[in-house]
Amino acid sequence: MKKLLQNYFNSRFYRVLNATFQPLLPLILLGTWARALLVSVFSRDGFFAQVFSIKSWFPGYTPIRQGLTMLTAYSLGLLGLLTAIFAARAIARHSPTLAMLVAGVGFLVLNTTRLAMLGPGLGMAGLLLGLLFGMLVGWLLNLPWPRFTASLIIIVTVAIRLGLNALAVAEISPTFTSVPHGGSGVLLGALANSVLSWFGLTPLIDPLSPLLTGPTATANLTATLAHKTVPFLSTIGTLYRPYALFGGVGMTLGLLIAILLFDHRRSKRQLAKWSLVPGLVNLNLPLVLGYPILINPLMLIPFTLAPLASMAIAWVALHLHLMTAAVYHVPATTPGPMIAWLATNGNWPALIVAMLCLAASVAIYWPFVKMLEEADWDA
| The pLDDT of residue 176 | 47
CB-based contacts of 368, cutoff 8 Å, min separation 6: 298, 299, 301, 302
177 found inside a domain: no
- Please check whether residue 178 lies inside any domain of the structure: no
Burial zone of 166 (CB within 10 Å; 0-12 exposed, 13-18 middle, 19+ buried): exposed
**Residue 172: pLDDT band with limits 50, 70, 90:** low
Q: Please give the average per-residue pLDDT across 132-140, as a whole number.
A: 96
- In this prediction, residues 306-311 reach a mean pLDDT of 96
Task: Give the pLDDT confidence score for residue 97 in this predicted structure.
Answer: 95
Judged against a pLDDT cut of 90, whether residue 193 lies above it is answered with yes
Task: Assess whether 114 and 194 both reside in one domain.
Answer: no
Residue 5, in any domain of the structure: no
Shared-domain flag, residues 317 and 237: yes
Res. 13: pLDDT tops 60: yes
pLDDT tens per residue across span 88-126: 999 998 889 999 999 999 999 998 876 656 677 889 989
Counted domains in the chain: 2
> 374 lies in which domain range?
184-378
State percent of the chain over pLDDT 70.
Answer: 92
Work out the average pLDDT over 9-15: 84
Contact call for residues 379 and 353 (beta carbons, < 8 A): no
CA angle 339, 194, 169 (to 5 degrees): 110
pLDDT at residue 227, rounded to an integer? 84
What does the buried/exposed string (b/e) look like for 17-48 if buried means 16 or more CB atoms within 10 Å of the residue's CB?
beebbeebeeebbbbbbbbbbbbbbbbeebbb
Instruction: Say whether pLDDT at 177 is over 50.
Output: no
- Once rounded to an integer, what is the mean pLDDT over residues 236-262? 94
Q: Is residue 2 part of a domain?
A: no
Could you tell me if residue 283 is inside a domain?
yes
Q: Which residues are CB-neighbours of 338 under 8 A, at least 6 positions away?
A: 351, 354
Angstrom distances, CA of residue 152 to CA of 104, 130, 141, 142, 158: 15, 19, 11, 14, 10
- Single pTM value for the model: 0.91
- pLDDT mean across residues, the chain: 89
3-state secondary structure of 172: coil
